Structure 1
C-alpha cells in the first residue's frame, strides 16, 4: 500500500503566535518568539534546528507540560491547558518501569484508565506485535536492547489510543544501524495505524526520510525559519535514501538549519 500526505486542510494541531520566556533571575530568556504552525490530522511533521531553537519547549507546550508566555496552542480547536490522553509523549529516555514486563509496561496506561483486563491484554498484544516485540512480551526491560526498549515505549504510547504522538529525539541515543531500523519500523507503524506525529530530531536525514513536512527552526529566539514539503509517497525505502531526490531535499534542509548565520525569516524571503 502506498501512503501519501494528508489532503485535509483541517488543523489537528494549531500554534498561534506562541512566545515562551523563562525567568533567569534578573534577566529573562526568550525560548520561542511568536511561533505559528499548523499540523493536519494524520500528518507526520519533523522539527529540526540548531541547539537552543526551542524545539523541545514547543513540544512541551503542546504536551501541556509548559505554558506559553503569550499566544496559544490548540488541539482539535481546544486550547491546551495541561496534559491530555489524546496526546502521547515519547522522550529520548525510554522511561519504562524496570520491574514490569514489556506487556505490563504497555498495559500501564490502560490499567490507569481502568480498562478491563481482557481488553488491556488484547490491545497491548496488538501494539506489541505492531512494533515487532511479540517474542519479548514477557521480558523485563533489562533484557532488551536500546532499540527494543524504545519500541516498547512507542507501543505503550500507542496503546492508550492517542490521536497525536509527540516525539522528542526518540532515537537520539541509539547507534546508527538501530536508528535506521527504528525509522523504518516507525514509518510502517504510522502507515498501519496512523496518528498525527510531531517528531523532533537533530538528524536532517532522519527528518527528511520520515516526514510529510520538515519544519526548520532558528534560534535566539526560537522561531519558524523554513518549512520544506517532502512530496514523496510512502513506504520509503533505502532506494529513496540513496536517490538524487533525497539528496536535494536533504541539502535544502541542511542549508536552512546550518547556514542561517543570524538571518531572519524576512531576510530569507527577500523582504
Structure 2
C-alpha cells in the first residue's frame, strides 16, 4: 500500500470505480490503495482521465466505489460528513451573502451560537487575509479572493480533512502562486489532513509532504514521491535545486509513464 501509515487518517483499500457507458464499461479507478497520515498534506497529480476527481469524490462520500473501501479514522465512508470539507474549482459562494455571511453559513446550519460563529468566522477570515473585505459581496471580489473565502468557509466548520479538487485551476499564474502561499500559511497555523488534486506539477511539489502520481486507463497509483523540502515554503524553496530535482522526477512520472512498469508494492 502506497504511503502506509500507523493509524492512518485516510485509507483507500483496493478501491475500484467503474461507470456503465451503454454497451461499454469505463474503469475510472482500478484497485487503488493509499494511506494518508493525520495532518499530512498530500497532492495527487496525473494525466487527464486518471481518476483524480473520482478518487476525491469517493472520499467526500459523493460517489460509492464499485469495489474496495474508503475509510476515515478506520470507519468506512458512507456519504458526506462534517469531518470532511470539500473545495472545488468553482467557488460556490452564495452571491447574496457577504464574505462573513458565507463563512458563517455552515456554522449557522450547525446551530453554533451567534457570538461563537462570528468569532470563528472572523478568525478564519483573518487567516486567509480577507478581514478588510468581510462585509463585501462575492461579486466585488477577484477570483483569488473568492477562493480564499471558500477556504475560510471550509476551515470554519472545523473539518479534520480538507479535500480540494483543483481549487486554483481557473486562476492566473501569479494569483495561483499567491494562493498556494496563502493556503500553506493557513495549513501551518491550523493543521488539517489535506488531499489536494491538481494537474500542475510545480503546484503539486510545492504544496505537498507527498505527491501521488496517477496513471490512467484505468486509474491507478503509478508513483509516490516524498517531498522533504523545508517549511515554511518560500520563493527561495521554489527556486532551489532540491525543488527542481523533485519537480523533474514528478514531471517524468506524469508525462513519461512506462505502461509496463510495475506499480508500487502493496503492504
Q: Report the TM-score range of the alignment, normalised by the length of the smaller protein.
A: over 0.9
The 5-angstrom pairing of residues 126-141 of structure 1 reads 126-141=123-138
- Structure 1 gaps of 5+ residues are 1-7
- Structure 2 gaps of 5+ residues are none
Give the TM-score taking structure 1 as reference length. Answer: 0.94
- The answer to whether structure 1 residue 109 and structure 2 residue 106 are counterparts is yes
2:148 aligned partner: 151
Aligned mates of 1:10, 1:263 — CA distance in 2 = 32
The 5-angstrom pairing of residues 1-271 of structure 1 reads 9-266=6-263
- Aligned-pair CA distance for 1:26: 1.3
1:4 aligned partner: none
- Aligned-pair CA distance for 1:262: 2.8
Encode CA deviations 1:18-41: one digit per residue, 9 max, x unaligned.
000001111110000000000000
- Aligned-pair CA distance for 1:188: 0.5
RMSD: 1.1
SS at match of 2:90: coil
Aligned mates of 2:29, 2:203 — CA distance in 1 = 24
- Aligned-pair CA distance for 1:261: 4.5
Encode CA deviations 1:140-198: one digit per residue, 9 max, x unaligned.
00000000000000000000000000000000000000000000000010000000000
Aligned mates of 1:241, 1:109 — CA distance in 2 = 35
Conserved? CA contact 2:229–2:242, under 8 Å? no
Conserved? CA contact 2:60–2:80, under 8 Å? yes
Give the TM-score taking structure 2 as reference length. Answer: 0.96
